[in-house]
Amino acid sequence: MRRTSRDIRTANRYEVLRQVVAASPTSRQELAAATGLSLATVATLVGELLELGMITEVGFEDSAGGRPRGLVAVNAPGGALIGVDLAETYVRVELFDLALNVLARADEGVRPGENRPEQVVGRVATAVGSVVAQAGIEGARVLGVGVSMPGQVDRDTGVCAYAPNWDWHDVPLLDLLTEHIAYPLHLDNPLRACAVAELWFGAARGCGDAVVVNLGTGVGAGLVLGGGVHRGVSNSAGEWGHTTLVLDGRPCHCGNHGCVEAYTGAPGIMLTLRELSPASPLLHPGDQTATIDALARGVSAGDPVAVRVLEDTARCLGAGIADLVNLLNPEVVVLSSWVAAAFGEPLLDAVREAVARHALRRPLAATRIVLSPVPTDPVCLGAATFALEGALRPAGRRDGARGPRTGSRAPAPGR
């Protein structure tokens, strides 16, 4: 887990490209000021990024009295990145240019009973083929495919150790995908995908320490610490959803009682509604999305049951987030994923209030709590960013994709 010279070089490449993405066009001098790196280091890194085709020279700007400064910008058409979001009931695939604009999208449904690994992998391969065809690009320009798989994923071996949604155990997902997809593959989970999306393109940009709270069917926390994504020693950090919030409380599918997820995941919110008002018209049994949407509309309309459900949910979330604020002292806490997006501002306001009641004064004063500003599916965007990060890793590391700590594979880079 020590940072080698190569790790540092990779982190610096990320930092400089992230800054170019944030403010194109820009000069080496501005990049040095924004990143804290020396001008000499920035010049070297810019040279490497130019050579990789990630950025491009776009002219000069006058500097007051001095020599004109060379400007660089993201080379948007220089390559394509593909992000795959494997959710419970669908497979979504998006194709991006290097400025992370969406060029094509494909959705494939996953019906109950059709979630065996071979079936899901087939859907992914179809959707990947579809977005490449839609975008009308040569396959050789695809730099990589990032795949977000909910559950416990071993990036090193590409094995999905456990996926509660589909009851997968020890599925060699990367091996299966490699049989159908000839681009470099990068596997991780949605917590990491959302964290990386916020770090590169969202509310965590430029932050040393940030927490991205994922509110969906499952609940977790993607952690950005020390300017990078925190994965933990076996890539399973962020399982905040199974923090005990209520000793001997509601049973959770993990086997424990009183977990955060049992109250704040979509099924937990549905249960709160059912307990409060068993015959509520807001309740769509078996349909999480419809129920959450109905609740969100109910809150806007001032429906007292919906408001009460929101308040109870925010109370639990706020207590749990306050604990994260006290423990990690982050600059920003981002509420992400579809449940957060559905409830929006009313949830944010109620969570802020609950956190303020529970957190200690000093870390509370240093933390902003915001909704994710990422306009597209953050999981697809983050997964595509895995592929971007993979393409930025110095050679020798990327080739060792079978080896430890990369979790990615480059069978036929075609570049």
The contact set with Zn ion (CB under 5 A) reads 242, 252, 254, 256, 259
Binds a second copy (CB under 8 A): choice among 24, 44, 165, 243: 243
Other C-beta atoms closer than 10 Å to the C-beta of 33 total 14
Binds a second copy (CB under 8 A): choice among 24, 157, 289, 329: 329
**Residues 6+ positions from 397 with CB-CB distance below 8 Å:** 6, 10, 406
**What's the token pair of residue 103?**
């060029």
Residues 152-191, mask of contacts with a second copy (x by CB under 8 A):
x--------xx-----------------------------
Q: Which of 366, 286, 377, 301 is nearest to 332 (CA)?
A: 366
Residue 339 Cβ vs a second copy, minimum distance, rounded to whole Å? 20
* CA–CA distance, 260 with 253 (Å, rounded to integer): 12
Binds a second copy (CB under 8 A): choice among 47, 139, 208, 411: 208
Q: Which of 6, 61, 14 is nearest to 205 (CA)?
A: 14
Say if residues 334 and 372 touch (Cβ distance below 8 Å): yes
DSSP letter, residue 414: -
Question: What kind and span of H or E run contains 193?
Answer: helix 190-201
Q: 20 to 39, contacts with a second copy by CB under 8 A?
A: 35-38
| The entry of Zn ion, a second copy, none that residue 9 binds, CB within 5 to 8 Å by partner kind | none
The answer to whether residue 331 forms part of the interface with a second copy (CB under 8 A) is yes
The answer to whether residue 301 forms part of the interface with a second copy (CB under 8 A) is no
For a second copy, the closer CB: 83 or 238: 238
Task: Decide: helix, strand or coil at residue 209.
Answer: coil
For a second copy, the closer CB: 232 or 281: 232
For a second copy, the closer CB: 1 or 64: 1
Say if residues 406 and 400 touch (Cβ distance below 8 Å): yes
Binds a second copy (CB under 8 A): choice among 64, 66, 167, 247: 247
Exposed/middle/buried for 306, CB within 10 Å: 0-12, 13-18, 19+?
buried
**What's the token pair of residue 394?**
């110095």
Binds a second copy (CB under 8 A): choice among 326, 356, 371, 394: 326
Q: Which residues bind a second copy (CB under 8 A)?
A: 1-5, 8, 11, 15, 35-38, 41, 152, 161-162, 206-209, 221, 223, 225-228, 230-240, 242-247, 249, 254, 256, 319-320, 322-324, 326-331, 358, 360-363, 365-367
